[in-house]
């Protein structure tokens, strides 16, 4: 059975090459699609995080604008 299998493989090397090429192409396409999806998800996450970070910075800045003077004056009084 083994010798027949080997001989049948040797009888159709073109088919083997075609199968190998198809498998390689499918694997490459799958890898490329996965990489593209991961990159897009990372970019979306970065954009969302940047917007959240900017919003948090604006909230923190407004909070600091309202309260920071008092905090600094308290610190100055304490250091004196």
- Residue entry with tokens 């959240």: 52
Q: What residue spans define the domains of the chain?
A: 2-79
- Residue 16: CB partners within 8 Å, gap ≥ 6? 9
d(CA 66, CA 43): 34
pLDDT of residue 60: 81
**pLDDT per position in the chain (80 positions), as tens?**
445 555 454 557 788 889 999 999 999 999 999 999 999 999 999 999 999 988 888 888 787 777 655 555 555 555 55
CB 9 within 8 A of CB 16: yes
Q: Provide the 8-state DSSP code for 12.
A: -
């Amino acid at each position: 059975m083994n010798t027949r299998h080997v001989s049948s493989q040797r009888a159709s090397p073109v088919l083997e090459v075609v199968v190998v090429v198809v498998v390689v192409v499918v694997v490459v396409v799958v890898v490329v699609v996965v990489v593209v999806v991961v990159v897009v998800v990372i970019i979306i996450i970065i954009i969302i995080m940047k917007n959240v970070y900017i919003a948090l910075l604006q909230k923190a800045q407004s909070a600091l604008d309202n309260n920071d003077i008092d905090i600094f004056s308290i610190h100055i009084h304490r250091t004196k």
